[in-house]
Structure 1
């Protein structure tokens, strides 16, 4: 009898210790980045991998793995359909992928609105730039291009593809879209080599990573327009797409599509986990993420890399997702041609 009591006490003690041990203690969390190394998505993932463990109970280790393809669609599909919902795999992909889902692209194997959203460390603003040695001084100069400039892009449903297509249709520009690049680093290399002439990225990536930082100083490329509601402080002489639309009296249809296309920039670079991870782990990740983005050391590190920290909580990302999921069907039909070759 005494032995049974002792055994029971030991089991109870072991159970209590296990219950008090944080789930993340001794664990490794993998962040899957949908783009190649060197771009802003990757830079943010590595900053987060360096600091986030400090703010998660149990102080897990974070590692980054790049999973490229389809403009980050392969990574999005993997997180949704393959990764276990245990809180040990996170992802960051182009938020523009939700547009492909809304338009019914068959390659989409996820439901954007069911991911477990952790948060976003930065909002972004779209820009469109072209090599400065081309003859195009303004956006409208491309209306009369003898040989349409080649614009590098990642996947068909990413902002690097659909934003130039929007410009093309709204203003009658002559462009040749070249999708298939694995990320901004590859696209910029193509521009440097002369294989492509233009690209649509973000202000933050342009000023925050190479070769954009150098190009901004040397004038190797010329920024022709930007997607923010107002001009970015570093691009005060560059008209916004909204200014161009007002000046050219662009049809309301394209204005409505433009508003949908810039919503992913509101999300910026959202980090997420598979659907259905345990609520306590999601809360730990969200709370830790919120504290991390506000950490003065993280802010300083991000700014030193040219990034612009601006927290959007997981709850806010989730709420924005519900907003963008209510696009009228008739507008979706008019958007589809802009997502295709």
Structure 2
């Protein structure tokens, strides 16, 4: 009995000491959130809301500062977090998790091992939709199939879900579309579509319904296709890509290349070699923030969904992607190469 009590007391002492140490480390400091997308986009919106609440869940209550680092379909931010950010627990960030699949497929430019990153978590698992401006003359999948010329969709670049999902859809469903890559983020894609440079785009409904809400409500933009395993409750009459697929191979392409990776599109990570105790502090604070009543009240007010994954759950999905069969890897590699 005395031995058990002694062990319990020692465990409590270690926990208190650890919390005190963390409190001393983070107090008075600023934690940076590196955002691979542009200001006003979905990644930026989630990060700024989180930044207003997460500090009180980190011992020492540090300030949090959002820093946008755009370019190369969020690859610049991902490389920075992997190789340049100091591994001290004072920097974490978000890049498009489509890059993880890109690494699996051996895409050019993704020249670092994404598995070395420390995964913090995902605030919401994406359900991708494709929306088109009314100027495109296409208001349904049937009209899209009948289009006399390819529908121009905006993207950021290969390895980014805003570009990858349409390419998978084109290959699996044989829809006439043309990708126009090179935009910094979904905010720029949206503005280009509103200006008539593009016909539309495909990205997460969880962000699109917030950031493109005015055009969706007015009917200037319409969702014509959803790329998700389950139909989105908000869009009961919009056809699902999986239901339109005419072969097992097409359904496998959609699942492996678009639907499964969508769960980790909004992946938050910190740098390799960050001390384990600080990684755990960030993971715990991230999870606590996503259940914080004030945070949830703010997300509800601006119509942001919360459907999180823990860092451990993200790691399992990443490990599974690296176990894709070789024939599927080869097929997807050709589709997503951007050529």
The TM-score, its normalising length taken from structure 1, stands at 0.89
Deviation at 1:96, TM superposition (A): 0.6
Q: Give the one of 239, 252, 256 matched to 1:256.
A: 252
Q: Is the 8 A contact 2:33 2:93 kept in 1?
A: yes
Q: Is the 8 A contact 1:140 1:171 kept in 2?
A: no
Which is greater in Rg? 1
Dislocated runs of 4+, deviation >6 Å = none
**CA distance, structure 1, for counterparts of residue 141 and residue 23 of structure 2:** 59
**CA distance, structure 1, for counterparts of residue 202 and residue 85 of structure 2:** 31
**CA distance, structure 1, for counterparts of residue 22 and residue 167 of structure 2:** 54
SS at match of 1:22: helix
**Which runs of structure 2 are paired with 1:224-303 in the superposition (5 Å)?**
224-245=224-245, 249=246, 251-260=247-256, 261-303=258-300
Q: Give the one of 315, 323, 327 matched to 1:326.
A: 323
Quote the residue 2:9 is aligned against.
none
Deviation at 1:165, TM superposition (A): 1.3
**CA distance, structure 2, for counterparts of residue 208 and residue 21 of structure 1:** 36
Q: Does residue 216 of structure 2 align to residue 216 of structure 1?
A: yes
**CA distance, structure 2, for counterparts of residue 21 and residue 234 of structure 1:** 43
Change (3 A) 1:288 1:129: same
**Once structures 1 and 2 are overlaid, which stretch shifts more, 140-149 or 188-197?**
140-149
What runs of 5+ residues in structure 2 fail to find an aligned partner?
A: 1-19
Deviation at 1:154, TM superposition (A): 0.7
Change (3 A) 1:21 1:64: closer
Deviations 1:84-134 (A, max 9, x none): 111111110111111211111231132222211111111110001111232
What runs of 5+ residues in structure 1 fail to find an aligned partner?
A: 1-17
Q: Does residue 316 of structure 2 align to residue 314 of structure 1?
A: no
What do you get for the CA RMSD once the two structures are aligned? Answer: 1.7
Quote the residue 1:199 is aligned against.
201
The TM-score, its normalising length taken from structure 2, stands at 0.90
Q: Is the 8 A contact 2:104 2:321 kept in 1?
A: no
